[in-house]
């Protein structure tokens, strides 16, 4: 890149409060940061592909272009509940590797309230195909994969909870809760899922920092649980 510019992107969100992210952004954000809505811009509407299907290319390109991101932009994402890692993963999925994640706790500078105005730029998608796995492939070859479940332990164990309609996990999945340090992940071809494909991006980012690759199962449990013919372990 000839003229690198940096763009902070605020990707805070809360699974139980759709308005949380924008409200938190308007209250105070890193100066110059733009807000992206995890549910409206980093996902397609919920349905047969799960609660947070990957956004269409058109939806993601529009969101990134509006945020002032082009091929000369280095994106620094920060957020909550995997929002920043979801943006990091999507950028790389669309061929934009100039990105990183900032832990908001590491920011000790000022915060700015209100909305930021940035110039629109043209984001170009060059999608990868080696970083995802879909339901049918996962069901057919899960025995030969290292399947990682990023949900909290009680959901992985299959205990009753208000989020999952079916309680349990993909058979053989090991647990790596998204809000904890990454445990030792066995060697092999890693696939990560969570409830709906957002927090799964946290261990994928942690694996990346450790020099390992993994694939995302985008539909995650919110898709898997819709198919009664698929196996469930508790």
pLDDT for 210-232, tens place per residue? Answer: 999 999 999 999 999 999 999 99
Do the Cβ atoms of 73 and 132 come closer than 8 Å? no
Query: 99 catalytic, yes or no?
Result: no
Nearest to 88 by CA among 74, 100, 72, 80: 100
- Given the residues 99, 141, 194, 201, select the one marked as catalytic: 194
Domains in the chain: ranges and CATH = 5-106 (3.40.250.10), 135-224 (3.40.250.10)
Q: What is the dihedral of CA 196, 168, 151, 62, to 10 degrees?
A: 0
The distance between the two most distant Cα atoms of the chain, rounded to a whole number of Å, is: 53
**pTM exceeds 0.85, yes or no:** yes
What number is the average pLDDT over the span 94-120? 96
**Dist CA 205 CA 70 (whole Å):** 22
pLDDT for 44-59, tens place per residue? Answer: 999 999 999 999 999 9
Question: What is the structure's pLDDT at 5?
Answer: 93
CA 32-20-124 angle, to 5 degrees, is 50
Provide the pLDDT confidence category of residue 2 given band limits of 50, 70 and 90: low
């Amino acid at each position: 890149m000839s003229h690198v510019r940096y763009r902070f992107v605020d990707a805070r969100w809360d699974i139980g409060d759709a308005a949380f992210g924008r409200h938190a952004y308007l209250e105070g954000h890193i100066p110059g940061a733009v807000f992206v809505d995890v549910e409206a811009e980093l996902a397609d509407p919920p349905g047969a592909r799960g609660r947070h299907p990957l956004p269409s290319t058109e939806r993601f390109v529009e969101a990134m272009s509006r945020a002032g991101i082009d091929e000369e932009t280095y994106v620094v994402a920060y957020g909550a509940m995997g929002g920043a890692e979801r943006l990091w993963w999507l950028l790389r999925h669309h061929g934009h590797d100039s990105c990183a994640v900032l832990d908001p706790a590491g920011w000790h500078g000022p915060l700015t309230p209100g909305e930021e105005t940035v110039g629109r730029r043209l984001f170009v998608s060059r999608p990868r195909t080696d970083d995802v796995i879909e339901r049918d492939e996962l069901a057919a070859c899960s025995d030969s994969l290292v399947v990682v479940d990023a949900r909290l332990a009680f959901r992985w164990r299959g205990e009753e909870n208000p989020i999952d309609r079916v309680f349990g996990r993909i058979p053989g999945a090991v647990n790596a809760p998204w809000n904890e340090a990454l445990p030792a992940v066995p060697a092999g071809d890693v696939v990560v899922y969570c409830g709906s494909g957002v927090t799964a991006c946290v261990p994928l980012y942690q694996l990346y920092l450790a020099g390992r690759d993994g694939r995302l199962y985008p539909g995650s449990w919110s898709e898997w649980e819709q198919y009664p013919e698929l196996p469930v372990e508790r």
